[in-house]
């Protein structure tokens, strides 16, 4: 099960999140009340290619079970309850999938996810993911360093931040029909944070393709920041000289206090 952390951590932030939930509570019927699938092992999916273990960056803590990691999620695009993503994310089609790269970069382009997966060796990273709601999970991710992609794209000297945008597709993501957030989900990192060797673009977990409820087909993992920074189902990457207007800014009284140290 997810590990509870100190009950006093960021109480004010959790209250803000709770307010957002109340605002959207009238639309909870969009996501139903059935229990999540009772899945304890990964399902077959697209071949992720060879995967190399990279223990240099791993935590020494035991990983949570596959069921823990895939049935207890925050992914508001599929509902506000922890079991909603596992129950509702089957509606999402993750192929074909492209990622648009734009802004202060020498090689703007639109990249097919399957082409991108051939560019870099995939590796496992075992990280503890901490949520601002005071719980955590230890997850064996599969992916590649974001820095490797950034080097290939060649940001210009004006690039100081990297902005990420998630998919906006309310016909497949029922939570987007509720006005709890200013969709689509947007997050950002300073360029030096994005280039940090711990920062990962994850395409799988447990040596299998990423399940929809965990952010398929590609998501951000930044282990020293709270989980809300780990934007899921990425469709756009923009390099910019100004701090992105992220999802944290759009909460009432929004700031980056929940993002972990070092964003500003």
What is the mean pLDDT of the segment spanning 234-240?
99
Structure tokens at 118: 């051939």
- pTM for the whole thing? 0.83
Average confidence (pLDDT) over 27-51: 52
Specify the CATH superfamily of domain 3-26+54-259.
Oxidoreductase, molybdopterin-binding domain (3.90.420.10)
**Where do the structural domains in the chain lie, given as residue ranges?**
3-26+54-259
The pLDDT value recorded for residue 155 is 99
Query: Which pLDDT tens digit goes with each residue over 57-107?
Result: 889 999 999 999 999 999 999 999 999 999 999 999 999 999 999 999 999
Position 262 pLDDT exceeds 90: no
């Amino acid at each position: 099960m997810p590990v509870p952390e100190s009950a006093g951590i960021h109480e004010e932030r959790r209250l803000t999140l709770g307010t957002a939930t109340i605002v959207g509570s009238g639309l909870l019927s969009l996501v139903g009340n059935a229990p999540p699938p009772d899945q304890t092992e990964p399902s077959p999916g697209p071949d992720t290619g060879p995967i190399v273990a990279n223990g240099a960056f791993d935590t020494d803590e035991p990983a949570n079970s596959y069921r823990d990691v895939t049935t207890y999620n925050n992914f508001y695009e599929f509902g506000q309850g922890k079991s909603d993503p596992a129950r509702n994310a089957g509606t999402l089609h993750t192929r074909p999938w492209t990622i648009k790269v734009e802004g202060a970069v020498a090689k703007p382009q639109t990249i097919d996810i399957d082409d991108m997966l051939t560019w870099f060796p995939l590796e496992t990273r075992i990280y503890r993911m901490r949520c601002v709601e005071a719980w955590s999970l230890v997850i064996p991710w599969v992916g590649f360093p974001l820095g490797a992609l950034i080097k290939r794209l060649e940001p210009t000297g004006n690039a100081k931040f990297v902005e990420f945008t998630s998919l906006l597709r309310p016909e497949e993501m029922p939570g987007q029909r509720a006005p709890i957030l200013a969709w689509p989900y947007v997050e950002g990192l300073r360029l030096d944070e994005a280039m940090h060797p711990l920062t990962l673009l994850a395409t799988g977990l447990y040596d299998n393709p990423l399940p929809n409820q965990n952010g398929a087909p590609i998501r951000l993992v930044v282990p020293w920041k709270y989980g809300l920074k780990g934007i899921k189902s990425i469709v756009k990457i923009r390099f910019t000289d100004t701090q992105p207007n992220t999802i944290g800014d759009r909460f009432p009284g929004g700031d980056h206090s929940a993002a972990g140290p070092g964003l500003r």
